[in-house]
Amino acid sequence: MSRLHDAARAEARGIRVSVILSAALRRRLPGSVDGPQRYALAAGATLADLLAAVGLDPAADLTAAVDGELAEPTTPLRDGAEVMLLAAMEGGAAAEAGGAAAEAGGAAAKAGGAAAEGEATIRKAFKGSQQ
């Protein structure tokens, strides 16, 4: 067989990704279990495609990381990717807008609000899953 034919056959098989959901997201999904879950997707799938397969609205307010890097719905996925999904934290908008959380002088507000806190959470959780 030619390499071109083999490449087309491999692409037709699709990709498999591992997904880790935060506890808040697991509670939203019926029948969701603890620990990483595997999903099979078509080759060329994006994070939005994965969110739909998981049962989450691709426009949902959540933080996502693919292989430890923050990701957008348009981020392409590769075979074997590790995806971490976290529910948005309450109070983030107030902290970023200089609301009560920022006035209280919280560490999260000083570090850039909920976005910085969410990124740190993803990096810490991702490092923990690698051990």
- The reply to whether 25 and 66 lie within a common domain is yes
- The reply to whether 32 and 74 lie within a common domain is yes
- The reply to whether 58 and 118 lie within a common domain is no
- The reply to whether 57 and 95 lie within a common domain is no
- The reply to whether 98 and 79 lie within a common domain is no
Prediction pTM value: 0.62
Question: Please, what is the Cα angle at 79 between 76 and 82, to 5 degrees?
Answer: 80
28, HSE (Cβ side, Cα atoms, 13 Å): 16
- The reply to whether 69 and 112 lie within a common domain is no
Q: Domain range for residue 109?
A: 91-131
The 10s digit of each residue's pLDDT in 107-124 is: 444 444 555 555 666 656
- The reply to whether 109 and 80 lie within a common domain is no
For the ranges 32-36, 63-67, 75-79, the lowest mean pLDDT is seen at 32-36
